Amino acid sequence: MSRDHSWRGNWKGRMYERVRERGYDSLTAFANARPTASLVALAEELGEDDVAGMQVLSELLAEAEQRKRIARFVRDMLVRELSECLPNGWPAVLDDASRFKVAKALGSWIADTPETHKERVRQVRTALLATPPPPGWHPLGPDDELLLTLLPDKEV
């Protein structure tokens, strides 16, 4: 049985050392190379027992704030949630099962969104539910055309 040691010691240093070992100069660059991977998958790739998805989230947000790219971060998180919860893309019909999956993706996304952007992402959620994307829509990254329309790079 493995033990989680993710919060022990200098976890930020450990995580960034592993990012550099993989040839990236930032956690964002590492994550951008895997645009549909979940935060847990990113964490496991960096260290299965000593990097947590929440740590990856925290540092991706910190890098986004530093670079003033929070809107892109927010879109990036939506892509990851949709990829995890809706691997076959947006459902053609919102029956009970697919509605739950959509709600899970959007709810997790909103929960992980910084307060500065929560109202805007709630508006995006409402827009997606009122006028659903085409069946099978599966954004492959944060620069997806529909996502850029719904949440442009202009910081709110």
| Residue range 36-85, pLDDT digits in tens | 999 999 999 999 888 999 999 999 999 999 999 999 999 999 999 999 99
Cα(83)–Cα(90) distance, rounded to whole angstroms? 10
- Interval 24-34: pLDDT, tens: 999 999 999 99
CB atoms within 10 A of CB 23: 9
Please, what is the Cα angle at 124 between 122 and 128, to 5 degrees?
Answer: 120
Whether residue 146 sits in one domain with residue 75 = yes
In sequence order, which residues have a C-beta less than 8 Å from that of residue 25 and are 6 or more positions away? 19
Whether residue 76 sits in one domain with residue 145 = yes
Whether residue 80 sits in one domain with residue 35 = no
Question: Global pTM?
Answer: 0.91
Q: Is 101 contained in some domain? A: yes
- Interval 97-144: pLDDT, tens: 999 999 999 999 999 999 999 999 999 999 999 999 999 999 999 999
Domain residues for the domain of 92 are 70-150
Whether residue 60 sits in one domain with residue 103 = no
Cα(34)–Cα(36) distance, rounded to whole angstroms? 6
CA-based Rg of the chain, rounded to a whole angstrom? 16
Count of CA atoms in the C-beta half-sphere (13 A) of 73: 26
Query: Would you call 25 exposed, middle or buried from its count of C-beta atoms within 10 A (0-12, 13-18, 19+)?
Result: exposed
Whether residue 131 sits in one domain with residue 75 = yes
